[in-house]
Amino acid sequence: MKLKYRLSLLFLVVIAVSATITLVLVRRSTESMFRTLVFSGDAEKAAAYALLLGEYRLEKGDWNEVQAFLVELPGLYSRMIDTRIHGGTGWPTLDGYPATTLRSLMADRVVVADANGFIVADTAGQILRTIHPSAHLMHGIPILAGFERTGTVLVGSMVDSSLTGIDERFLNSVFASLAWSTAVATAVALALGLLIAARITNPLQRLARAAKAVAAGEGAAPVQVRGHDELADLSIAFNEMTSELRRLDAAKKRVIADAAHELRTPVTLIQGTVEGMIDGIFPLDKDTLASVHEETVRLSRLIDTLRELEIIESGELRLSIEGVDLGEAIRKAIALFASSAAAKSIALAAGPSPSPRALARGDCLRIGEVIYNLMSNAIKYTPDNGAVRIAELPPADGRTGFRVDDSGPGIPPEERERIFERFYRIDKSRSTESGGRGLGLAIASEIVKAHGGGITAGASALGGASFTVTLPVFRP
Ligand code: ADP
């Protein structure tokens, strides 16, 4: 079942259950309050009887004689009133009550049930010694002897607590309108629930359609982002994901095209030379074969580099992690590049040693490779009589690192991220001329990333490019 309908059904169940509970509770309390209202006159009398009967029960200890007591009560009262009127012994509570009122009070039918609902007195004698229906007893007034409930007394209309026709109709019409309003409220709530469910599920459907389009290989258009809730966050994340996918897809296509192009050149050269040798255009001698060999070596180096990149990127690269002394690595690099720098009259120098210092957490050989790539670029792109400097950085926030500066042409700000992509060269003719294939920085960047570090390009105080590498500090 669709989420939209499942949600609506859920709304309906919740609403129906709560409406039914409300209906039942309101019905019960309305009925009981209405009965109290209708029986209130008799209930007041019953309360007076309950007090009297409580006293009676305390004194007698049982209900055995209660029927006779109640039947005789009006006579008893009459006699007392007569005595009072004729100046008898006195009955203080009767002060101010006309005798007729008391007599009419005595004329009511009184029913007493014991604690088990067994009728022990009925002044009308109709239901004596029967079990009274508990529904009627429920509306009676409890008789307390001390703190113990010893029975229930019902007076007049309370004995048969069924309502009169008009009362019954009134109650029924109240219940009918209650039921109607519950039904209407449920219907309105269901309609609202459908609307809300649609609002929740529509963005999800849009996302599902877009995800299917991506899965089918179609370039998905960004999905609309509405509001600021979790669904909006999901749409934003989806859009970011598709744009990243598009970028990666474009990068992949470019890499394949570039790789094909790079491989094409030496292959064409080899093919041309070999065909020339077959056709007798080139002599079949050692020199020609040596040039073919040179191209195959270049080809195999290119393939090795691509393979290396692939290994690092796929996380298959095994790093033998240790504490790397960057100062030591820098000294080695200076020694290694001394002659090529001297050949171009480039002033090659190491920056001052920072204080404090920290070992970097990494693979010594791989970090050496990063330094090698950056240094060879610096010397390669720096013109004669320029300067190249490499310096260790002081540790900060659990990271240490180094920086390579040169006085070469520098890297324009808009190219500073792209130069780390494979085959990316700022000035292709300049780079190819110097033998570059746009893979050195890509490899350096992947190695640094595999170490959990970072690499950035910027402008150098020497006037050229500045490459900063950060690596985690080694904690033994
Ligand atoms: P390449 O083998 O072509 O040097 P890299 O990946 O090492 O490839 O560098 C990518 C591009 O970045 C280079 O083609 C060059 O345009 C630019 N670049 C790298 N290092 C420097 C530098 N020190 N100064 C100026 N440009 C540089």
Cα-to-centroid distance, 57 and ligand 1 (Å)? 111
Cα-to-centroid distance, 409 and ligand 1 (Å)? 10
User: Between 66-85 and 99-106, two packed helices, what is the crossing angle to 10 degrees?
Assistant: 170
pTM check: above 0.85: no
User: Between 364-381 and 440-450, two packed helices, what is the crossing angle to 10 degrees?
Assistant: 150
Q: Is 471 left (phi over 0), alpha (psi -120 to 50) or beta?
A: beta
Residue 265, Cβ neighbours under 10 Å: how many?
15
Cα–Cα distance, 419 to 437 (Å, whole number) = 11
Cα–Cα distance, 63 to 296 (Å, whole number) = 123
Amino acid at 388: V
- Torsion sign, CA atoms 456, 459, 460, 463: positive
Residues 83-96 have pLDDT tens digits of 666 655 544 444 45
Report which protein residue has its CA nearest ligand 1's atom 20: 377
Report which protein residue has its CA nearest ligand 1's atom 21: 377
**Do the Cβ atoms of 298 and 263 come closer than 8 Å?**
no
Which of 16-20, 99-103, 354-358, 461-465 shows the lowest per-residue confidence on average (mean pLDDT)? 99-103
Report which protein residue has its CA nearest ligand 1's atom 9: 438
Beta-strand runs (E) in 275-413 = 322-324, 347-350, 360-362, 387-396, 399-406
Beta-strand runs (E) in 123-180 = 141-145, 148-155
Residues 6 or more apart in contact with residue 308 via CB below 8 angstroms: 443
Residues 130-172 have pLDDT tens digits of 887 766 777 788 888 888 888 888 887 777 666 666 777 887 8
At 373 the pLDDT is 94
Res. 220 pLDDT band, cuts 50 70 90: low
**Residues in the ligand 1 pocket, defined by CB under 6 Å:** 377-378, 381, 406, 408-409, 411, 419, 424-427, 431, 436-442, 464-465
Cα–Cα distance, 73 to 355 (Å, whole number) = 113
